[in-house]
């Protein structure tokens, strides 16, 4: 499986990436990616079929193959994820928890790619490795700026990830009714101090 955590060059047979002026097929490409993201988020990797994605995008399944090489390639292109964590080093330390929870909620509310990534990450070994890559390349560097003790960074980042991904799991994937019903500000009020403690409090 190609590495999706870095935007590696796609295996598209289109000869040269001419960034000067748009190709006519860019719209189709985007439509495929949109449908793919939706299907992967809703159904997971296996149940999201190329045929169904192509039907949603109103094109032939073979076009998906031509543009993205394989189902794996399509998935890699569809969930090239950048969670754009803010630089937590520039704000007061006692606000880190609440800001991070609020940012996390914003990202998940407006980006079905994250749901797709979590669904697939939980569903297969390859998906799990993708999430490990996101954690390593995007979460850990930010955590390093908040808790300078390098020996504790990994632990504190993992605790934070457990709390935040658990929220995403129960609210956006499993959809446990009380987790869905929780208002945004209440989540921030409850989870903010938890994350704050995981990142900055002394080892218990």
Which spans of this chain sit near DNA (rule: CB under 7 A)? 14-15, 23-25, 28, 48-52, 58-66, 70-72
Q: Is 186 in the site for its own copies (CB under 8 A)?
A: yes
Nearer to DNA, 46 or 106 (CB): 46
Listing DSSP states for 111-155 in one string gives -HHHHHHHHHHHH-HHHHHHHHHHIIIIIHHHHHHH---HHHHHH
Contact map string, positions 76 to 115, toward its own copies, x by CB under 8 A: ----------------------------------------
Q: What tokens were used for 117?
A: 């990534």
Out of DNA, its own copies, none, what residue 8 binds, judged by CB under 5 to 8 A for its kind, is none
Out of its own copies, DNA, none, what residue 174 binds, judged by CB under 5 to 8 A for its kind, is its own copies
CB of 198 within 8 A of CB of 160?
A: yes
Q: Is 126 in the site for its own copies (CB under 8 A)?
A: no
CB of 39 within 8 A of CB of 54?
A: no
Alpha-carbon gap, residue 193 to 5, rounded angstroms: 30
User: Quick one: which of 203, 200, 201, 186 has its CA closest to 101?
Assistant: 186
CB atoms within 10 A of CB 65: 16
Alpha-carbon gap, residue 130 to 29, rounded angstroms: 23
Q: Is 198 in the site for its own copies (CB under 8 A)?
A: yes
Out of DNA, its own copies, none, what residue 1 binds, judged by CB under 5 to 8 A for its kind, is none
Footprint of its own copies on this chain (CB under 8 A)?
Answer: 43-44, 46-47, 118-119, 121-124, 128, 131-132, 135, 154-155, 157-159, 161-167, 169-171, 173-179, 181-182, 186, 189-191, 193-194, 197-198, 204
């Amino acid at each position: 499986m190609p590495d999706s955590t870095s935007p590696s060059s796609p295996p598209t047979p289109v000869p040269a990436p001419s960034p000067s002026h748009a190709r006519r097929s860019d719209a189709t490409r985007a439509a495929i990616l949109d449908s793919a993201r939706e299907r992967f988020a809703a159904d997971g990797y296996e149940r999201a079929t190329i045929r169904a994605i192509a039907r949603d995008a109103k094109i032939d399944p073979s076009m998906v193959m031509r543009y993205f090489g394989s189902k794996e390639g399509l998935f890699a292109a569809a969930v090239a994820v950048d969670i754009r964590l803010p630089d937590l080093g520039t704000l007061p330390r006692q606000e880190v928890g609440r800001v991070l929870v609020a940012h996390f909620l914003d990202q998940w509310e407006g980006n079905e790619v994250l749901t797709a990534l979590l669904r697939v990450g939980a569903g297969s070994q390859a998906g799990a490795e993708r999430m490990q890559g996101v954690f390593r390349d995007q979460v850990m560097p930010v955590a390093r700026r908040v808790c300078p003790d390098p020996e504790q960074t990994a632990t504190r980042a993992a605790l934070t990830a457990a709390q935040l991904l658990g929220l995403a799991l129960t609210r956006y994937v499993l959809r446990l009714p009380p987790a869905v019903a929780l208002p945004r500000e209440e989540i921030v009020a409850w989870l903010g101090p938890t994350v704050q403690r995981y990142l900055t409090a002394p080892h218990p």
